[in-house]
């Protein structure tokens, strides 16, 4: 039997690689992948707001778009979104709209998190569809990528 947390850790490492790529390109380092029901990666995304001048260019949105395009359907039922930082209101809303089964995130975002911190957009009892949430997978590593980025930016 596969350990689900170990499986999420492997996916989180892929998301971390996306995050580092975003940081190297000058964007805030957040990365995401979408897994299908079998655990295969069907979407990858990194924050590309600066590069694309797109306010919706968050890692989760980019990864969900790629996953939906791979499936040929907007509905991502059975899929899991794995992201290095707790999603914001926009991305949490998009995850609900996409009917994702599960959101797995790394670092908690106390300033803007919408999956349990500042808001809990995905587990509002008034919603019909509420994705399962697995928080703080490789949280320290995910947080460190962000801290390093902002420290370097302040120094540089
Ligand atoms: Zn977002």
Tell me the mean pLDDT in the region 110-136.
Answer: 94
What is the rounded CA–CA span in Å between residue 59 and residue 12? 13
Please tell me which residue, 155 or 30, carries the higher pLDDT value. Answer: 30
What predicted TM-score, i.e. pTM, was given to this entire model? Answer: 0.95
Active site residues: 60
Tell me the mean pLDDT in the region 142-150.
Answer: 97
Amino acid 154: pLDDT: 83
Amino acid 128: pLDDT: 85
63 CA to centre of ligand 1 in angstroms: 11
What is the rounded CA–CA span in Å between residue 116 and residue 112? 10
Beta strands in 15-156 (DSSP E): 31-35, 41-46, 80-85, 102-107, 132-134
Residue with tokens 């587990």: 123
88 annotated as a binding-site residue: yes
Amino acid 5: pLDDT: 78
Asked whether the predicted pLDDT for residue 156 surpasses 70, the reply is: no
Tell me the mean pLDDT in the region 136-150.
Answer: 97
pLDDT confidence of 43, banded at 50, 70, 90? very high
| Average pLDDT score over the chain | 95
Amino acid 2: pLDDT: 60
β partners of residue 32: 45, 83
pLDDT digits (tens, 9 = 90+) for 11-32: 999 999 999 999 999 999 999 9
Q: How would you classify the pairing of strands 31-35 and 80-85?
A: antiparallel
58 CA to centre of ligand 1 in angstroms: 5
Beta strands in 1-156 (DSSP E): 31-35, 41-46, 80-85, 102-107, 132-134
Q: Residues 45, 66: contact at Cβ < 8 Å?
A: yes
25 CA to centre of ligand 1 in angstroms: 18
Ion ligand 1 residue ranges (Cβ < 5 Å): 58, 88, 90-91
Q: Residues 42, 71: contact at Cβ < 8 Å?
A: yes
Question: CA 42, 146, 132 angle in degrees (round to 5)?
Answer: 45
Joined tokens for residue 133: 């949430």
Asked whether the predicted pLDDT for residue 155 surpasses 80, the reply is: no
pLDDT digits (tens, 9 = 90+) for 53-99: 999 999 999 999 999 999 999 999 999 999 999 999 999 999 999 99
């Amino acid at each position: 039997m596969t350990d689900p947390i170990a499986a999420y850790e492997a996916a989180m490492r892929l998301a971390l690689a996306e995050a580092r790529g975003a940081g190297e390109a000058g964007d805030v380092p957040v990365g995401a992948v979408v897994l299908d029901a079998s655990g295969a990666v069907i979407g990858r995304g990194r924050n590309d707001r600066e590069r694309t001048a797109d306010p919706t260019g968050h890692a989760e949105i980019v990864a969900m778009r790629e996953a939906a395009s791979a499936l040929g359907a907007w509905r991502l039922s059975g899929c899991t979104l794995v992201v290095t930082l707790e999603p914001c209101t926009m991305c949490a809303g998009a995850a609900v709209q996409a009917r994702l089964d599960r959101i797995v995130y790394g670092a908690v975002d106390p300033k803007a998190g919408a999956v349990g911190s500042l808001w809990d957009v995905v587990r509002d009892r008034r919603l019909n569809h509420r994705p399962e949430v697995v928080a703080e997978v490789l949280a320290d590593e995910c947080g460190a990528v962000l801290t390093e980025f902002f420290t370097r930016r302040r120094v540089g």
